[in-house]
């Protein structure tokens, strides 16, 4: 979605190589997912769904946070 939007509106020409990959990798993760899980109606499974959602989003944030530096370095080497 990010690539098609950037291409459609011509932003891709203004951005450096690899910028969209960095934006996509480091973008906001899980905000909507957590909001949707919290908005579920009361049921026996709601607590499980919310807990699993938090764990997955936390894992995603940690993994992406710890690897974004490596991604930037790799993209910088590729553009040289």
The predicted-structure confidence for 4-55, as pLDDT tens digits, reads as follows 777 788 777 787 778 888 888 877 678 888 999 999 999 999 999 999 999 9
Tokens coding 80: 């040289």
pLDDT at 67: 92
**Is residue 10 included in any domain, yes or no?**
no
**Is residue 50 included in any domain, yes or no?**
yes
Give the count of domains, the chain: 1
For the question of whether the overall pTM of this predicted structure is more than 0.85, the answer is no
pLDDT at 77: 87
pLDDT at 16: 76
Residue 57: C-alpha distances to residues 13, 33, 47 (Å): 32, 8, 15
Q: What element of type H or E holds 80?
A: none
**Residue 39 three-state SS:** coil
With a cut of 70, say whether residue 1 has pLDDT above it: no
**Is residue 36 included in any domain, yes or no?**
yes
- Which structural domain range is residue 44 located in? 16-79
């Amino acid at each position: 979605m990010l690539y098609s939007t950037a291409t459609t509106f011509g932003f891709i020409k203004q951005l450096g190589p690899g910028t969209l990959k960095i934006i996509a990798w480091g973008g906001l993760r899980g905000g909507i997912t957590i909001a949707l899980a919290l908005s579920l109606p009361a049921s026996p499974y709601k607590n499980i769904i919310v807990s699993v959602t938090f764990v997955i989003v936390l894992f995603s944030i940690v993994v992406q946070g710890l690897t974004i530096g490596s991604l930037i370095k790799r993209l910088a080497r590729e553009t040289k």
